[in-house]
Every structure is written in C-alpha cells, then in structure tokens.
C-alpha cells in the first residue's frame, strides 16, 4: 500500500485528489497534511517521513503583488526540498506546475523554479520527480474569482450576477477529475518525469463556454430541464455548473401541477439527453440510497407520500434536509460528490420517480456507498 500525502490537500485540485484516492482504500493510504506544517520543521519532517508519494500542490495563484506570489511559491518548494534532505527521503515527489512557465510572468517563473528545485533534489538524492505542467483546470467546487474563469462564471450565473468577458481568447482546459486520474496513473507507474506536459482535453473560446453556461442557467436552473449534452466536456461543464447552486435555497423545486376532474398531471423531467428512468414505492420508515456519484446526474421526484431527502458533501459534516410532499410534487437533483438518501417519513407508501443520465453498469457503476 502506498502512503500518499498532498500539500494543499484542501485546495481545489488537492481536495478532488484526496477524495478520489479514498475510493481505493486497499491501494492507497492518505497521510493528512495541514498548511501549518510549512511553518514547523518538525511537523513537516514528520509528514515527509511517512510518505511514499508527496503531491506538492500548495501554491498561491493570485495576489495583488506578483512578487509576493513568486516568493511564496518558490519558498514553499524550497521548504519541501529542505525537509526531503533532512529526512533522507526517497519519496516520489510530484509537483504541479503550469503552462504559464512559458510566459514572461512571475507566477510562471515561480512554478518553473519550484519544479526545477525538486527535480534537482531527486537527481542528487535518489528520489523520483514528476513535474506536472498543467493547462487551465476547471471543475466542481473551484473558488470563484481565484481558480478559473469557469468557477467565476458558474458562481455568478447561480447567484444572480451577470458575467463579463475581459478577453475572448482560446483557452486550453482540463477537467479536474481528468487531471486527478492522470496523477493517480503516474503514481501507479512510479516513473521519474521532470517535465511531464499534460495535454488539454478541450480548447474553447471564453465566449463559447459562457454561451453554454447561459444555456444551463436558462434551461436547467430556471426551467428544470436537463440540457442537451454533446460530449464529455459539456458533461463536465454541466456538473461543474451544478456544483455552484445554493442547494439549501434552490431545492426542493415544485413541479407545475395541472388538475382537472380526471385528476392531476405533472411533467417530471424534460431531457436533452437520454438515461434511465425508474419508479419505486417505499414503505414507511424505510430509507433508500446512502451513496454518492462522481459523474452521474440524478433526479429524485416525489409524486405521492411524504419524504425526507438528505444530502451531505462527503468531506463535510453538514447535512441538508429537504422535506417533500406528494400533495405538491417536487424534485431534488443530486450534486456530484454528495452522498444522498430518501426516507419515507409518512404513514402511506411513498412513490418516487428516479431519473439518472446513464443506465446502471455494475462494472462501472460510479456508485459509492456512504451514510449521509
């Protein structure tokens, strides 16, 4: 079993990597890291001693002073190098750099110098180095106005703001989960690659990305419709957009119910894509679910009875409770990386319609069981 530590484990990429490693408990042991370790040699050395693999993601992306960014990033890399030397570590060290290495700015220079410092350590001390040179990363839970323009646009469009485009250029992008999968593959291969250029998985104009996000707002956020999704980039962008919704206030969303002397009619879901639709009955006091997905898009629609739907992001303790009543049919959509369940809290059978964007495949179920 490999023992893996991640500097910056609570950052955007770090948290995704940490959570994904947790899906392989028989292969990887995660060694927790706190940013305070960089200020305490003993704590940092203790962390380094435990690790077979160290993924160095801790860095500063934005600050009003470029010089401060430069000094911070070079300083963090140097502190790690010093600890590796003090502990005589032979770890496989991976460092995230940026395609901005090629640009004439202090951020790019700081990333390049940090990567080279660790590469020199590996050469001189028998360690291994993977210098990850990464394009622009986007994905769920990124910090708006900091991690990427995608994060900023998604936040604005789900919080009543209007995005603006400063420069409409082509941007090379990679989805955070795609990046994480590459990192894990490199951990498994155990090869030294001082310069490892990671290819973008899509290239888009900023205006093209914004047009898609505006479509998601109009169709999905405002209208409840699952939009047309043409490829993996759009799937990943849609899941990214959904992660910025304030779930507490947005759900449950009540359906428009049409009644006449014959009874009632409710449109449960309008789809731009296919998927699998299911119907279930649940007897009182029974709970279904308690699992999460990393890519699937899913809707729970209550049409009869009383239900409690609960959501919890897997790396937090906060539980979101949504009470639904079939007298006013409503739905809750399941965000990625949120474990979720549904419980019949009424005295009669609960009728629920479930929709998910892909048919169940037991060999690639994207279903991980965890109590809410």
Instruction: Give strand pairing partners of 280.
Output: 352
Query: Six-digit token pair at 306?
Result: 């009383």
**Band of residue 103 on the pLDDT scale cut at 50, 70, 90:** confident
Average pLDDT in the 233-247 region?
A: 98
Q: What is the pLDDT of residue 264?
A: 82
315: pLDDT strictly greater than 90? yes
101: pLDDT strictly greater than 80? no
DSSP assigned state of 35: G
**Band of residue 260 on the pLDDT scale cut at 50, 70, 90:** confident
Interatomic CA distance for residues 42 and 92, integer angstroms? 20
Q: What is the pLDDT of residue 293?
A: 98
Interatomic CA distance for residues 166 and 146, integer angstroms? 15
Interatomic CA distance for residues 110 and 192, integer angstroms? 21
102: pLDDT strictly greater than 80? no
Interatomic CA distance for residues 44 and 96, integer angstroms? 19
- Count of beta carbons in the 10 Å neighbourhood of residue 47: 22
Which of 20-24, 106-110, 143-147 is least confident?
106-110
Q: What is the residue-averaged pLDDT of the chain?
A: 95
Q: List pLDDT tens digits, range 34-69.
A: 999 999 999 999 999 999 999 999 988 878 788 988
Q: What is the pLDDT of residue 17?
A: 98
Average pLDDT in the 101-128 region?
A: 87
**pTM for this prediction:** 0.94
249: pLDDT strictly greater than 90? yes
Average pLDDT in the 2-29 region?
A: 97
Q: What is the pLDDT of residue 285?
A: 96
Q: Which residues contact 209 (CB under 8 A, 6 or more apart)?
A: 149, 150, 153, 171, 237
Q: What is the pLDDT of residue 336?
A: 98
**Band of residue 284 on the pLDDT scale cut at 50, 70, 90:** very high
Q: List pLDDT tens digits, range 185-199.
A: 999 999 999 999 999
Helical pair 12-21 and 176-189, crossing angle rounded to 10 deg: 60
């Amino acid at each position: 079993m490999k023992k893996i530590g991640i500097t910056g484990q609570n950052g955007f990429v770090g948290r995704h990597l940490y959570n994904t490693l947790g899906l392989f408990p028989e292969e990887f042991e995660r060694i927790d890291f706190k940013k305070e370790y960089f200020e305490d040699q003993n704590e940092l050395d203790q962390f380094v001693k435990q690790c077979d693999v160290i993924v160095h993601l801790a860095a500063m992306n934005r600050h009003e002073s470029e010089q401060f960014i430069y000094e911070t990033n070079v300083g963090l890399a140097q502190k790690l190098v010093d600890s590796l030397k003090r502990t005589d570590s032979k770890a496989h060290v991976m460092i995230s750099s940026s395609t901005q290495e090629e640009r004439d700015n202090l951020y790019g220079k700081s990333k390049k110098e940090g990567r080279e410092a660790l590469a020199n350590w590996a050469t001189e001390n028998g360690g291994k180095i993977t210098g990850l040179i990464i394009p622009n990363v986007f994905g769920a839970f990124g910090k708006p106005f900091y991690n990427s323009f995608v994060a900023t646009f998604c936040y604005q469009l789900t919080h009543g703001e209007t995005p603006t485009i400063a420069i409409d250029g082509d941007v090379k992008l990679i989805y955070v989960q795609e990046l994480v999968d590459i990192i894990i593959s490199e951990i498994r291969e155990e090869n030294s690659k001082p310069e490892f250029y990671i290819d973008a998985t899509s290239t888009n104009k900023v205006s093209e990305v914004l047009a898609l996000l505006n479509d998601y707002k109009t169709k999905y956020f405002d209208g409840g419709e699952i939009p047309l999704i043409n490829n993996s980039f759009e799937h990943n962008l849609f899941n990214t957009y959904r992660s910025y919704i304030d779930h507490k206030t947005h759900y449950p969303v009540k359906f428009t119910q049409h009644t006449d002397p014959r009874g009632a009619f409710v449109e449960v879901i309008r789809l731009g894509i296919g998927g699998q639709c299911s119907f279930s009955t649940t007897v009182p006091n029974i709970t279904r679910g308690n699992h999460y997905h990393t890519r699937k898009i899913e809707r729970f629609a209550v049409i009869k009875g009383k239900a409690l739907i609960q959501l919890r992001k897997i790396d937090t303790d906060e539980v979101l409770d949504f009470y639904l009543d079939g007298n006013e049919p409503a739905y809750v959509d399941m965000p990625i990386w949120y474990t979720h369940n549904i419980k019949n809290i009424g005295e009669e059978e609960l009728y629920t319609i479930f929709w998910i964007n892909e048919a169940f495949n037991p060999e690639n179920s994207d279903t991980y069981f965890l109590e809410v």
